[in-house]
Amino acid sequence: MKTPIFTGSCTAMVTPYSSKDGSIDYERMDALLEMQVRGGTAAVVICGTTGENATQPIPEHEKLVEHCIEAVNGRMKVIAGVGSNDSNSALGMAKSAKAAGADGILMVTPYYNKSTQRGLVQHFSYVADRVDIPMILYNVPSRTGIGIALDTYIELAKHPNINGVKEASADFSLFGLTRAHCGDDLHIWSGNDDNTVPMMALGAKGVISVASNIVPEVISDMCAKALAGDFAAASAIYFRYAELMSKLFIETNPIPVKTALNLMGLNVGVFRLPLVDMAPANLEKLKKAMADVGLPVA
C-alpha cells in the first residue's frame, strides 16, 4: 500500500509566454501559482501537456520546474512533467526534477514510437529504477497512440517508485479492473475533468485538471466533497460546470484554457506553434460557456 502524492485537485498548469518574444513570462507564472494557492489546489503539474512541454527545450523546461518549486515554497505539491518518447531524455528530466525538489514526476506513454506493452514496462521502469522520486504514469492514448493495458498496470504497480496513474483514456472498464487488481498499490487520478466525480466514486484520489486553471476553487471544492463521500454535492458542482468543461476541449488543449485565461484578463500570452488561436465560431461558444457560470469575458 502506497501513500498518494496528493489527494483532491491538481492543476495541470499552463505556461504563460510573452506576447513580445514568446519567452516564458515568469512573473505571470508566479501570479498563476498564487491563484492556485488561494483556490485550495493540492498540487500543480509543471511542464505537462497543458504547459506546452513539447515545445520547450530541456534547459528551459528544467529552469521553469525549478522556478515553480521555489515560488510554491511547499504550499502545494509540485509535480514535474518528464514525458518523452526517448527514455534517456525522460530520465534526465526526472533527475533534474528530483534535484530541484519536486514532489513527484508525471510521465506519459512514449508517443510516435508506439511501444509494445513490454516496452512500456521497461520505459517506465528504466526511469523509476534510477531516480528515487514518486512517479505518476500518464495514460492518454488519444494523444500518444498507445494505451496502458491492465496487465501492464499490474506489473508496474509492483514498483515502489511508481505511485499511480493519471488515467485519461475514459475507459471505465479499464479503470475499474485496475482498481480491483491493484488497489492502493497504484493510485488513480482522473485525467479528464468530466470523469472526475464518477471515478472518485470508484476510488480515484482526485483529478489532474485543466479546468482548475480558471476555476481552481470550484474543482478543489468538488473534489473535497467527493473525498468526503458527498457525491450528490460533488455532482451538483459538476453539472453546473459541465458545459464549460466540455468547451475547454472544443479545440486541442491548451488552446481553449489559455484563451479563457486571456479573456479573464490574466494575460497568459501566446501559443507556440503548431498551436494557434481558436477559430472564431469556437471562441464564441467558449465565451458563452464562461459567461453562463459567471466568469468575466473581456
Is-catalytic flag, 166?
yes
Residues 6+ apart with CB under 8 A from 38: 216, 217
Are 179 and 209 in contact, with CB atoms under 8 Å apart? Answer: no
Q: Counting Cβ atoms within 10 Å, is residue 175 exposed (0-12), middle (13-18) or buried (19+)?
A: buried
**Would you state the cell numbers that stand for residue 157, as one nine-digit string?**
504497480
- Annotated active-site residue in 17, 77, 153, 166: 166
Residue 159 contacts residue 131 (beta carbons within 8 Å): no
Q: Which amino acid is at 33?
A: L
CA distances for 88 relative to 82, 92, 95, angstroms: 11, 6, 11
Contact in structure between 31 and 71 (CB atoms under 8 Å): no
Respond yes or no: is residue 138 known to be catalytic: yes
174 phi/psi in degrees, rounded to 5 = -60, -45
H or E segment at 260? Answer: helix 255-263
Which 8-state DSSP code applies to residue 12?
E
Helix/strand/coil for 218: helix
Cell numbers representing residue 214 in the block: 480558471
Of the candidates 138, 153, 238, 241, the residue annotated as catalytic is 138
Q: Residues with catalytic annotation?
A: 138, 166
